[in-house]
Amino acid sequence: MDQDRYDKGLATRRAVLGEEHVAKALANVDDFSRPMAELGIEYCWGAVWAREGLPRQTRSLINITMLAALNRAHEFKLHVRGALRNGCSKEEIQEALLHVAIYCGIPAGSEAFRLAREVFAENG
């Protein structure tokens, strides 16, 4: 493991998802899941999310559209929270989800809208 990339990834993950979420996730890591957790932190957050080629708002919108298309509700809601934290507006998220509906199908878009509304309600 590249410790610098891991540390950068951990900092990026905390900035996007919040300290509380990351602390809880790390507390749930055990010997079996540790390699997967480290892989995600080092490469997802340290090698890709930390790149300068796209702003975090854009990365968030890309993530929520992909997660909606893949029907990954838990991760989708997590990344809608991250998108809001990264400065995405509800309107930007709405526009991204309309693309999901057209390119991935109305059921995928409808479910994404439903899940996003749950996150908006939780966040006031």
Cβ-count burial of 25 within 10 angstroms (0-12 exposed, 13-18 middle, 19+ buried)? middle
Q: What pLDDT tens digit does each residue of the chain (124 aa) get?
A: 899 999 999 999 999 999 999 999 999 999 999 999 999 999 999 999 999 999 999 999 999 999 999 999 999 999 999 999 999 999 999 999 999 999 999 999 999 999 999 999 998 7
Domain span at residue 112 reads 56-122
**Per-residue confidence (pLDDT) for residue 57, from 0 to 100:** 96
* pLDDT of the residue at 5: 96
pTM to 2 decimal places: 0.90
CATH of the domain at 89: 1.20.1290.10
Same domain, 40 and 74: no
**Shared-domain flag, residues 81 and 26:** no
CA distance 29 to 47: 21
The predicted pLDDT at position 29 comes to 95
Tell whether 39 and 88 lie within a shared domain: no
Residues 32 and 83 reside in one and the same domain = no
Query: How many domains does the chain contain in total?
Result: 2
Q: Specify whether 80 is located in the same domain as 36.
A: no
For the CA atoms of 24, 11, 100, 98, what is the dihedral angle to 10 degrees? 100
